Amino acid sequence: MHCRTSAGLRANPFYAITSAMTFTPVTPSDIAPGTTRFVQHEGAAFLVVRDGDGRVHAIDGLCSHALLPLAGARVRRGHVICPHHGARFDITTGAAKGPPAHCGVSHYPAQEKNGMIELDLNP
C-alpha cells in the first residue's frame, strides 16, 4: 500500500524542535484551544491544531484517504477528525487512527513566536 499526502509519498516522522530547524510564520496564533485552522502556504496545505492544553501542532492539510481538505476538522482526544468521511489522525504524529484512512499524514514541528504560529516546512 502506498500512502499519499499533498506533497507526495512521505514518511511520518515525529520531530523535536531543535536549533537547526528553520521556522516560517504561516498564521496568527489566535487559535482557541481545542480547535483547528486550515492554512495554505506557498502552494501547500496545512492543518494547525491547538490542543486542549494550549500546545500547537501541525499536520498535512489534506486527508490521506481522499486528499480532501481537512478544513473544519474537529479535535477530540488528541485526534483530528476529517469533516468529509470521519478519518482520524493523531495530532502529535499525523498517524492514522481510524478508518477510512489507513495511512497517516505528515507532521510538522510548530512553535509560537511574536503572535504567529511558525512551522518547520523542511522534511
The structure's pTM equals: 0.85
Q: How far apart are CA 72 and CA 94, in angstroms?
A: 17
Q: Give all domains of the chain, ordered by start, each with its CATH number.
A: 23-120 (2.102.10.10)
Q: Give the DSSP H/E element, type plus range, for residue 47.
A: strand 44-50
Separate counts of helices (H) and strands (E) for the chain: 0, 11
Q: Give 51-108 pLDDT, tens digit per residue.
A: 999 999 999 999 999 999 999 999 999 999 999 999 999 999 999 999 999 999 999 9
pLDDT tens-digit readout, 1-19: 456 555 543 433 444 555 5
